[in-house]
Structure 1
Amino acid sequence: MSPATLSALAAWLQTHLDEPQPLKRPGPEEVTHLALALEPRDLPAHLTADALFVHRSRGVGEGWPGLGVLGAHDGFDLHLTTGPNRVLAARLGWQEVRPLHWEGQPAGLLATVPQPTWEALRAALHAELGGEDDSVAPTLPITGPLRVALMNRLNPGTAAMAAEQGAHVYLTGQLRPSALGAVRAAGLGVVALGHRRTEWWGLGQLADQLRAAFPGLQATLHPGSQGSGPQGPAEL
């Protein structure tokens, strides 16, 4: 494996997260310690690092002078939060995974889960992600294996589509009141996993993947005062 450099990290993000321009600010090439955060406010004013990865990097500005800045927004959300998140599907042991599209764009996954009941599914999600924001139990009897749709949006159209595709439970970031009528009409269960919670989970997965790709790289997560992850700054 090649050593971690700012250019190599940027190339990895471009390939694995489909991020067209992951290098947001140049800096020293050699990177031993990478600090990761969801947004600039989560980072301390002074930190020990050679470079930064910030999911929402626009607010970095002139902060943390001398450090290169990497970022990924849409690709990070698509691959590591809700939507077609095959990393989460693999960790939870989902089977028969196939993509779902909405308006011609990748929007999520349909899968069969190993849990036989609504309660067991929620327990597995809580164990992996640290909780949920809200949920609505399914109203129609579940026959056969439990199937879920993991989607990056919730509206009446996507709820109806998921039900038509055979989903029993709809997983997404936020519960939209405007979609509740369609959800209830379809008999779907919904688990709102939480926008920031799923982002924090994705940030941890990204750190794991970068450490595997670049042995010796230290990756420190910074949740800041608003972090909803189950733990504080962690070395991965």
Structure 2
Amino acid sequence: MPSRPLPTLSELTHFLQSFFPPPDTRNPELPFLYHRPTTTTTPPTTPIPSITLSITPTPAFYATLHSKPTPHLAFLHRPWTLDRKRLPQDVTVLACHQGFDENLTVGANFALARRLGMDVDVGGGWGVVKGYKGDEGRGIGVVGGVEGGLRAALVKERVLREFGGRCEGCFGFGGRTSHEEAKEEEEGGVLLHPATASKEQDNEPITAIAIMNAFHPDEVTRALDLAASLNLISSSSTDGAKLLYLTGAIREPGLTFARDKGVRVICVGHRVCEEWGIGFLAERLREMWSGVLRVEEVYEEEEEGPREGGRRNPTQRNQPQPV
């Protein structure tokens, strides 16, 4: 039986683009086709033997590109510091920032929701939280029910397993670990988030999970209100302990507000949830072109460059090429 043909540049581009929301013409993002070869022509029908996925362009990213068969395809989540001069001549680079954050980190991530046992395929049992930073249509999270309610300890275990046991903090659960609320974070000798939940409370059910890409009091309120409107919890003011708020980085105002409402919180960390998205794309690519396409994942962290006013110097960013 003849071997399966290599995927074409067009097939890979459309396959990856299918995981992200359509670009918003009112607030255009960076072009998905971020870099095209400048000295060679790569038609859409060109067979592609390998692809490299990375959050940012790092030394290991460039080294991987130069060590693989060509023509090559690459994908970046945050491509701003890409040095085009360091790319092999026949490499095409795809990029997605906001859409990746929305759909493949802790946001409206339905793939993650299904893995955690959320009922996001049943009509009326879930909803999307929209609106952030003036963009009313931007999806920043999904709230859904948990198959009849699961013990809090089991839900926490599922989350930590999904992210390789890594997190910045778990709050509202019993026991003390290096990753949980009893971390020795002190301010003036006072523990910022003392353990308030007993191990017995870990046996209580969680009936709803909010996977959210932001963590301020307003987002916590909207997640609670949506869970209540979907009848996943009985009341947004008194039933907070039945909601798990899953997000990225710890934000003190949001965490304090959530704890006051009794909401359980797991913060996996910004970088960790980005790595989840890269790993997910790699899995899907390997499944789609098993034994044909070589898929490389680069998880090296980018070195911080000089910053101005707390932001990276914009002159250091390579502007996307028009396509």
Do the structures match in fold with TM over 0.5? yes
Q: Tell me the residue number matched to 2:56.
A: 39
Alpha-carbon distance, 1:23 to partner: 1.2
For 2:88, the equivalent position in structure 1 comes to 65
Instruction: State whether residues 56 and 301 of structure 2, in contact with CA within 8 Å, keep that contact through their aligned partners in structure 1.
Output: no
Correspondence for 1:17 = 20
Letter of the 1:32 partner, please give it. Answer: P
Could you tell me how far apart the structure 2 residues matched to 1:71 and 1:123 are? Answer: 32
8 A Cα contact 1:13 1:72, kept in partner = no
Contact 2:74–2:93 (CA<8 Å) still a contact in 1? yes
Q: Hey, what does 2:316 align to over in structure 1? A: none
TM norm structure 2: 0.63
- Per-residue Cα deviation, 1:157-207 (whole angstroms, up to 9, x for no partner): 111222233461111001101223321221111100111111111111112
Match of 2:145 among 112, 122, 126: 112
- Aligned residues with identical type, % of pairs: 27
Change (3 A) 1:225 1:38: closer
Q: Runs of 5+ in structure 2 lacking a partner?
A: 24-30, 120-124, 174-195, 228-232, 234-241, 303-323
- What is the CA distance between 1:101 and its match in structure 2? 2.2
Separation (CA, whole Å) in 2 of partners of 1:217 and 1:207: 11
Aligned to 2:239: none
Partners in 2 of 1:58 and 1:225 — Cα distance?
A: 14
Task: Give the TM-score normalised by the residue count of structure 1.
Answer: 0.84
1:54 is matched with 76
Distance 1:89 1:44 in 2: 33
Larger radius of gyration: 2
Q: Kindly tell me: are residues 181 and 34 of structure 1, through their superposed partners in 2, closer, same or farther at Cα, counting changes over 3 Å?
A: same
Q: Which residue of 1 aligns with 2:126?
A: 97
Aligned length in residues: 226
- Partners of 1:19 and 1:72 within 8 A in 2: no
The one-letter code matched in structure 1 to 2:13 is A
Equivalent residues in 2 for 1:192-211, closer than 5 Å: 192-211=267-286
Supply the RMSD in Å over aligned alpha carbons.
2.6
Partner of 1:232: none
Is residue 2:298 matched to residue 1:222? yes
Matched with 1:135 is: 170
1:163/1:186 contact within 8 Å kept:
no
For each residue in 1:24-76, what CA deviation from the matched residue of structure 2 results, as whole angstroms up to 9, or x when unmatched? 11244331110111100151534315121111122222222211111111111
Measured in 2, the distance between the counterparts of 1:152 and 1:193 equals: 11
SS in 2 for 1:60: coil
Q: Aligned-pair distance for 1:7?
A: 2.8
For 2:11 and 2:55, the matched residues in 1 are separated by 21
Matches within 5 A, 1:132-171: 132-137=167-172, 145-164=206-225, 165=227, 166=233, 168-171=243-246
Q: Mark the CA change 1:153 to 1:2 in structure 2 (over 3 Å): closer, same or farther.
A: farther
Aligned partner letter, 2:156? R
State the 1:93 CA deviation. 2.0
Question: Alpha carbons of 1:204 and 1:19: their partners in 2 closer, same or farther (altered >3 Å)?
Answer: farther
Secondary structure of 2:108 counterpart: coil
Please say which of residues 1-10 and 106-115 is displaced more in the overlay. Answer: 1-10
Shift of 1:79: 1.0
Q: How many Å apart are 1:155 and its aligned residue? A: 0.5
Contact residue 224 and residue 243 of structure 2 kept, 8 A? yes
